[in-house]
Amino acid sequence: MKLVITPRSLKSRKFPITLDFDGSPSEVRVEDVQAAIAKQFPQLYPDRQRLTLDKTALETEKTLQDYGIKDGDSVTFKDLGPQISWRTVFLIEYGGPLVIHPLIYYLPSLIYGETFEHSWMQTITYGMVMLHFLKREYETVFVHRFSHGTMPFRNVFKNSAHYHLLSGLNLAYWVYGPWNAAGATLAKRSDVLVYGCIALYIFAEVSNFHTHVTLRNLRPPGTRVRKVPRGYGFDLVSCPNYFFETLAWLAISVLTMSWSAYLFFVVAVGQMYIWSVKKHRGYRKDFTDYPRGRKAMFPFVA
């Protein structure tokens, strides 16, 4: 069969092209089309391609017949630009705070122009933040299975800014400063508040890890299979991982009582809520048996 590949951009010098395939539309898969394009233009590897039919993106696991494509029909091609793996993006994002926090915590004379003894609040906060991002790096390497392998390389700078600037430089500078040093009035916390924040943080991080393992076990290695997640946390919300992460950052924010922590908390929770609503709607659209009582991110609320 023949398939015409037309460009989304009128300025394209490579397209349109016509591809010939052995077999019928029921036998030719979308990934076969991507491989054929990459064979002609090696720089346009499959992850860099987006093929659409009437604004509907073609999924690699499906055949051309699944989209009603017949011999001689055409699909639209878009070059997504240079790509980077999501795993690498996450390692870069979470790596920023893991470098920034130790530099500011252990080098106060370089950052603040003076040396001082850290308060209990500063030390506990430092431990919480470091453990959080070390956990995220561990999950990125050993737990997560990504449904989408890559993203545009240019987006790594935008994504990293959120973590490097807000939860990295901004949070570390204002929390570890001399105004919060040992003996400072701003650093004084009651034992009840400190131990309460630690307990909430531990509960949230362990629960968050548990939900990530649950999501991992739903997807066999090397596939993009999607199933309805069930069990701990998922009986109440579609994205308990975001809810538990919210609790972890709430514990850090309350412990520090710093505007910088609250700023990151508000921005992060707002972004996670947007993601959770999108995933919640996707679940309800794709699964007819999806539990109706579940909320997106906050139990019994939204």
Give the span between the Cα atoms of 288 and 299, in whole angstroms.
Answer: 21
User: In CATH, what number is assigned to the domain containing residue 63?
Assistant: 3.10.20.90
- 230 and 129, same structural domain? yes
Furthest C-alpha separation in the chain = 78
Domain-embedded: residue 189: yes
- 99 and 28, same structural domain? no
Structural domains counted in the chain: 2
More confident: 137 or 23: 137
- 197 and 60, same structural domain? no
Domain-embedded: residue 292: no
Give me the pLDDT at residue 154, please.
81
Domain-embedded: residue 255: yes
Domain-embedded: residue 112: yes
Q: What is the pLDDT of residues 182-236, one digit of tens each?
A: 999 999 999 999 999 999 999 999 999 999 999 999 877 766 677 899 999 999 9
- 173 and 37, same structural domain? no
- Mean pLDDT in the chain? 92
Which one of 81, 100, 115 terminates a domain?
A: 81
- 192 and 54, same structural domain? no
- 239 and 216, same structural domain? yes
Question: What range defines the domain where residue 66 resides?
Answer: 2-81
End-to-end, the C-alpha distance of the chain in Å comes to: 49
Domain-embedded: residue 299: no
Q: What is the pLDDT of residues 103-161, one digit of tens each?
A: 999 999 999 999 999 999 999 999 999 999 999 999 999 998 876 678 888 888 888 98
**Global pTM value:** 0.84
Give me the pLDDT at residue 180, please.
97
Domain-embedded: residue 302: no
Give me the pLDDT at residue 75, please.
93
- 88 and 76, same structural domain? no
Give the span between the Cα atoms of 241 and 76, in whole angstroms.
Answer: 36
Domain-embedded: residue 141: yes
- 183 and 37, same structural domain? no
Q: What is the pLDDT of residues 272-300, one digit of tens each?
A: 999 999 999 999 998 988 998 899 999 99
Q: What is the pLDDT of residues 39-61, one digit of tens each?
A: 999 999 998 999 999 888 898 88
Domain-embedded: residue 137: yes
Percent of residues, the chain, with pLDDT higher than 70: 98
Give buried/exposed letters for 141-173 (b at 16+ CB in 10 A, else e): eeebbeeeebbeeeeeeeebebbbebbbbbbbe
